[in-house]
Amino acid sequence: MEILLLFSVVAFLYASVGHGGASGYIALMAIFAFPQSEIKSNALFLNLFVSFISFTQFFKKEEFPFKLFFMLIVFSIPMAFLGGMWTLDNKWYKIILGLILFIPIVKFLGFFPKMQFQVKQNLLLVIVLGLLIGLLSGLLGIGGGVILSPILILLGWCTVKQTAAVSAIFIFVNSLAGLLGKSFATLQFSENIVQILIFTLFGGILGGFFGANKFKILWIQYTLAFVLIIACFKLFTT
């Protein structure tokens, strides 16, 4: 029961800032020593539901940047599918994932909002971002939102609310592509994945609502950073 409640809390926290929560689920599964073969599939599967919930809450808060979103996913989806088909060696999976988790840690600790540029959108940069983030999404079992969102804010391409909406649906489509790619390899879920999903959905629904309508999210970001720091320590020491 303890682990189920923790999944619910993580989903609540991530949905409140417009994310699906894959990095948090992976953090929990690393801390509780889930089998490596299940972590990627579990995270992508849970990500699908919570990211879509987040999107529905943040979508109407500000004008949605459709053009930017579609340019990103055209290039990210095939790479997420390809990444889902690949299986990294356990050692390298932990190293790469641990390094990638430093991006949301820095974001959640508040460094990126203090560093913002006004970079004009250009096709080449969008293509590179879509390809790279899509590949990492499928390869590591994350949706890519924790990488994309600080970049969107840093480049000055989206407001905070727009970033949450774009990241949420970006996570959804890349998680789906990663899962489809993974199904061509070895798609393995935990035996209690249905129970985990129920608790995760509950937390995600509440988090998406309160994050889009009620919360000032500073304390949530600090909590998420703390969880990810623990996960990084676990990944680098086991």
% of residues, the chain, pLDDT over 90: 18
Mean pLDDT for the stretch of residues 106-126: 73
Domain positions in the chain are 2-237
Q: Rounded distance, CA 170 to CA 51, Å?
A: 8
The answer, yes or no, to whether residue 227 has pLDDT greater than 80, is: no
Q: How confident is the model at residue 117 (pLDDT cuts 50, 70, 90)?
A: low
pTM of the model: 0.80
E strand spans, 75-216 = none
Mean pLDDT for the stretch of residues 220-226: 71
Q: Rounded distance, CA 47 to CA 171, Å?
A: 7
The average confidence (pLDDT) of the chain is 82
Q: Rounded distance, CA 169 to CA 94, Å?
A: 26
Q: How confident is the model at residue 72 (pLDDT cuts 50, 70, 90)?
A: very high
Length of the chain: 238
Copy the structure tokens of residue 224.
């998420």
The answer, yes or no, to whether residue 12 has pLDDT greater than 90, is: no
Mean pLDDT for the stretch of residues 165-170: 87
2-11, 44-53, 101-110, 190-199: lowest mean pLDDT where?
101-110
